[in-house]
Structure 1
Amino acid sequence: MKTAVVLFTRDLRVHDNPALAAAARAAERVVPLFVHDPTLRAGDNRRRFLDESLTDLKASLRQRGADLVELRGDPAAESVRVAKRTGAEGIGVAADVSGYARERERRLADACAAERIALKTFDGVTVVPPGALRPTGGAGHYKVFTPFWRAWQAAGWRDVEAAPRKLRLPDDLPASWFRDRPVKAGGGESAGRRRLTAWLPHLEGYEDDHDAMAADRTSRLSPFLHFGCLSPREVAARVHGRAGAEPFLRQLCWRDFYQQVLFAFPDLRHKAYRASAEDRWRDESDALQAWREGHTGVPVVDAGMRQLLAEGWMHNRARLITASYLTKHLGVDWRAGGDHFFDLLLDGDVANNYGNWQWVAGTGNDTKPYRRFNPIRQAHRFDPDGDYVRRYVPELADVEGKAVHEPWNLPEPPRGYPAPLKL
Structure 2
Amino acid sequence: MTVSVVLFTSDLRLHDNPTLHAALAAADEVVPLFVIDEAIASAGFATPNRRAFLADCLTDLDAGLRERGGRLVVRTGDVVEETRRVASETGAGEVRTAGGVSGYAAGREERLRRALESDGRRLHVHDATLTVLPPGAVTPQGSDHFAVFTPYFRRWSQEQPRGVLAAPRSVRVPAGVGSVRAPARADVSGVSEGLAEGGETAGRKRFADWKRAGLATYDDGHDDLAGDVTSRLSPHLHFGTLSPTELVTRARRAGGSGAEAFVRQLCWRDFHHQVLAARPGASSADYRTKHDRWRPAESAGEEIEAWKAGRTGYPVVDAAMRQLRHEGWMHNRGRLLTASFLTKTLYVDWRVGARYFLELLVDGDIANNQLNWQWMAGTGTDSRPNRVLNPVTQGRRYDPQGGYVRRWVPELSTLAGAAVHEPWKLQRAERARYDYPDRLVELAEGRDRFLRARDKG
Q: CA deviation at 1:39?
A: 1.5
Q: Distance in 2 between matches of 1:253 and 1:94?
A: 19
Give, in whole Å, the separation in 2 of the partners of 1:320 and 1:182: 33
The CA distance in 2 between the partners of 1:316 and 1:206, in whole Å, is 13
Residue 389 of structure 1, CA deviation: 0.2
CA distance in 2, matches of 1:403, 1:42: 40
Offset at residue 34 of structure 1 (A): 0.3
Residue identity matched to 1:186: E
> What whole-Å deviation, never above 9, does each CA across 1:156-188 have from its counterpart, x for those lacking one?
2111111111111112223xx142666988100
Identify which of 92, 95, 98 aligns with 1:94: 98
Q: What is the aligned partner in structure 1 of residue 189 from structure 2?
A: none
Report the Cα distance in structure 1 between the residues aligned to 2:90 and 2:171, rounded to whole angstroms: 15
Is 1:153 aligned to 2:157, yes or no?
Answer: yes
1:394 alignment counterpart: 410
Cα pair 2:74 2:182 within 8 Å, conserved = no
In the alignment, is the contact (CA less than 8 A) between 2:309 and 2:321 conserved in 1? yes
TM-score by length of 2: 0.90
Matches within 5 A, 1:264-343: 264-283=278-297, 284-343=300-359
Q: Distance in 2 between matches of 1:225 and 1:261?
A: 18
- Shift >4 Å, 4+ stretches: 180-185
Distance 1:285 1:39 in 2: 29
Cα distance in 1 for residues equivalent to 2:182 and 2:284: 38
Aligned-pair distance for 1:277?
4.1
1:36-88 deviations in whole A, cap 9, x for unaligned?
01110222111100011001000001111110110011111111110110011
Q: Tell me, yes or no, if structure 1 residue 125 matches structure 2 residue 125.
A: no
Counterpart in the other structure of 2:7: 7
**More divergent stretch after superposition (413-422 vs 309-318):** 413-422
> What is the match of residue 143 of structure 1?
147
- Name the residue aligned to 2:267: 253
Give the C-alpha shift of residue 400 in structure 1: 1.0
| Displacement of 1:25 | 1.2
Specify every segment of 5 or more residues in structure 1 that has no aligned partner in the other structure, as ranges: none
Write out per-residue CA displacement over residues 237-287 of structure 1, whole angstroms, 9 at most, x where no aligned residue. 111132221111000000000001110111222100012343344541110
**Contact 1:282/1:331 (CA < 8 Å) preserved in 2?**
no
Deviation (angstroms), 1:203: 1.1
Does the Cα contact within 8 Å between 2:51 and 2:185 map onto a contact in 1?
no
Paired with 1:109 and 1:195, the residues of 2 have a C-alpha distance of 36
Instruction: Tell me which residue corresponds to 2:83.
Output: 79
SS at match of 1:52: helix
Matched to 2:277, the amino acid is F
Displacement of 1:132 in angstroms is 0.8
Structure 2: runs of 5+ lacking an equivalent: 187-195, 447-457
Mean alpha-carbon deviation: is it higher for 53-62 or for 273-282? 273-282
Query: Aligned pair count?
Result: 420
1:234 aligns with 2:246: yes
**Inter-partner Cα distance in structure 1 for 2:397 and 2:310:** 21
Alignment TM-score, normalising by the size of structure 1: 0.97
Separation (CA, whole Å) in 2 of partners of 1:182 and 1:323: 33
Shift in Å at residue 13 of structure 1?
A: 0.3
Is the 2:53–2:185 contact (alpha carbons within 8 Å) kept by the matching residues of 1? no
Output the CA distance in 2 between the equivalents of 1:162 and 1:183. 28
